[in-house]
């Protein structure tokens, strides 16, 4: 869980109860109520649509999870974990148990999640499934060109340009998938007292 209050500590009890009944399945907290602005909610829904359309995966959870030992062992061997926790979890585990989670109030300060960081986060999740994305994108490009070939213009080619930018972006983000860096991640913490 994140330590900023948005993952509510009182919900941990639900995770523990489910874990005791789950037979080594992992539990994920799915947001059922969000408190962000209308623009953020719209962008989040668009992110979920894009993820589903291009990867075939519905990912409605973040870090608030209770992982089984088996899942942890799988994720430690998956280089995508360094790139996107939720994307990697969905890739390695097909039978996740969802539990409702209400977004809590931050303990202090505003969220540091800018629009750019939200976009990067969204594309990082999608990049975990880049092979599927490339196949679906190729199919979309072929079908779209067939649809617009008699009405081709700068305006009608805009979706193709945006798709190519997305493919380029996820390809760059996928370069972060590095098992060696993931295994050495704790080396980045030199002094726990300096972490704020």
Edge-to-edge strand list for the sheet holding 61-66: 61-66, 27-33, 97-102
pLDDT at site 142:
94
Confidence band, pLDDT 50/70/90 cuts, at residue 192: low
Write out the two tokens for 3.
């330590």
Q: Which of 13-17, 24-28, 33-37, 166-170 has the lowest mean pLDDT?
A: 33-37
Residues in the chain: 196
Q: Tens digit of pLDDT for each residue in 40-50? A: 778 888 888 98
pLDDT at 195: 52
Name, in order, each residue with C-beta under 8 angstroms of 4's C-beta and a sequence gap of 6 or more. 106, 107, 111
Q: What is the percentage of the chain residues whose pLDDT exceeds 90?
A: 52
């Amino acid at each position: 869980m994140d330590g900023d209050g948005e993952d509510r500590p009182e919900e941990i009890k639900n995770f523990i109860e489910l874990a005791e009944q789950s037979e080594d399945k992992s539990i994920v907290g799915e947001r059922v109520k969000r408190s962000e602005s209308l623009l953020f909610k719209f962008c989040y829904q668009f992110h979920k649509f894009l993820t589903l359309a291009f990867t075939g995966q519905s990912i409605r959870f973040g870090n608030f999870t209770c992982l089984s030992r088996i899942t942890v062992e799988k994720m430690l061997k998956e280089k995508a974990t360094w790139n996107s926790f939720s994307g990697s979890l969905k890739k390695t585990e097909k039978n996740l148990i969802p539990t409702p989670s209400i977004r809590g109030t931050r303990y202090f300060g505003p969220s540091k999640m800018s629009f750019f960081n939200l976009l990067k986060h969204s594309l990082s999740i999608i990049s975990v499934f880049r092979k599927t994305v490339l196949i679906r994108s190729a199919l979309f490009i072929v079908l779209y060109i067939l649809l617009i070939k008699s009405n081709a213009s700068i305006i009608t080619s805009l979706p193709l340009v945006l798709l190519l930018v997305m493919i380029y972006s996820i390809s760059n983000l996928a370069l972060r998938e590095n098992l060696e860096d993931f295994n050495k991640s704790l080396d980045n913490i030199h002094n726990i007292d300096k972490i704020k």
